[in-house]
Amino acid sequence: MNFHVMTLFPGLIDNAMGESITGRAIKAGYISVNAVNIRDFAGNRSGSVDDYPYGGGAGMVMKAEPVYMCYKYICGQIQERNQGTAENRKPPVRVVYLTPQGRTFSQKLAAEYADEEDIIFLCGHYEGIDERVIEEIVTDYVSIGDYVLTGGELPALVMMDAISRLVPGVLNNCISAQTESFSGSLLEYPQYTRPEHWRDRSVPPVLLSGNHKKLAEWYREQSVIRTALMRPDLLENAELTQEERELADSIINNL
Ligand code: SAM
């Protein structure tokens, strides 16, 4: 998986992605991060990439040409890398514009993006970006939630983190991504680690039993209980047995 990020703040992207699990995944070659500074394509000495909005109004708008030139530069890099390979015949790379106006990001969308070879993210700043370049290059519009941030860098990082975890090899234990919250419309069961007794609380005895069948049943039941308590809306699309449905309903009716 190769992430390309068009941004005014490449340091933010490189620093955050260079840490922890994503940092190790970069070193091991499972993912790559190519943060490209839009300002390098300003086309003027001052490096100015924004201007006043036509029609007036508050704030500044990022200009079309630097964004477009940055995009062409990244396309050139991808093309050069793929020269003479079968990859070169693939359809154009998806360009994701991070915007509060987009479709809300989800685990399902993360899984869809994890199948891509390359993704280009476009991070806006100020009041946004000249609509004409957005129309010209963007294929996907994605929001990370119904609130407005100062720039698209944090949303891009959120997306890259979630997508990276689904790229084979990135997590040491590939089972963990499959059992996690949202992977099957249910939230994950609660987790415990040593010591067995902490203050006046003990680890549920079933976790010490070594009985795999009982453990699997407990995990499943806890997932249903937790989802009913925390996110009952998710149960609408969950595949539950009659017994599980009754358990969930009894919890929801007592909330
Ligand atoms: N004027 C824009 C509007 O009302 O839709 C908001 C611009 S915002 C201040 C600047 C940039 O931050 C946007 O271009 C976008 O890239 C990013 N951004 C802000 N909130 C976001 C969110 N919830 N999800 C994704 N990107 C966001």
Mutate to test the pocket of ligand 1, among 148, 153, 159 (most ligand atoms within 8 A of CB): 148
> By the 8 A CB rule, do 155 and 162 touch?
no
Q: Is the shortest distance between the CB of 247 and ligand 1 below 6 Å?
A: no
| Residues facing residue 5 across a β-bridge | 35, 121
Strand, coil or helix: what is 223?
helix
Would you state the structure tokens that stand for residue 64, as one six-digit string? 């079309």
> By the 8 A CB rule, do 54 and 39 touch?
no
What pLDDT tens digit does each residue of the chain (255 aa) get? 999 999 999 999 999 999 999 999 999 999 999 999 999 999 999 999 999 999 999 999 999 999 999 999 999 999 999 998 876 666 689 999 999 999 999 999 999 999 999 999 999 999 999 999 999 999 999 999 999 999 999 999 999 999 999 999 999 765 567 778 887 889 999 999 999 999 999 999 999 999 999 999 999 999 999 999 999 999 998 999 999 999 999 999 998
| Residues facing residue 7 across a β-bridge | 37
pTM tops 0.85: yes
Spatial separation of the C-alpha atoms in residues 32 and 49, rounded to whole Å: 26
Contacts of 95 (CB under 8 A, 6+ apart): 71, 120, 121, 122, 137, 138, 139, 140
> By the 8 A CB rule, do 140 and 192 touch?
no
DSSP 183-215: TTSSPPPP---S-SEETTEE--GGGGS--HHHH
Chain mean position to CA 64: 26
> By the 8 A CB rule, do 74 and 81 touch?
no
Mutate to test the pocket of ligand 1, among 99, 143, 160 (most ligand atoms within 8 A of CB): 99
Q: Is the shortest distance between the CB of 130 and ligand 1 below 6 Å?
A: no
Which atom of ligand 1 approaches the CA of 101 most closely?
Answer: 5
Q: Is the shortest distance between the CB of 144 and ligand 1 below 6 Å?
A: yes
Q: Is the shortest distance between the CB of 54 and ligand 1 below 6 Å?
A: no
Q: Is the shortest distance between the CB of 155 and ligand 1 below 6 Å?
A: yes
Rounded distance from Cα 127 to ligand 1 centre (Å): 8
Backbone Cα Rg of the chain:
23
Spatial separation of the C-alpha atoms in residues 209 and 183, rounded to whole Å: 26
Nearest residue CA, atom 6 of ligand 1? Answer: 127
| Residues facing residue 95 across a β-bridge | 120
Cβ-based neighbour number of residue 40 at 10 Å? 14
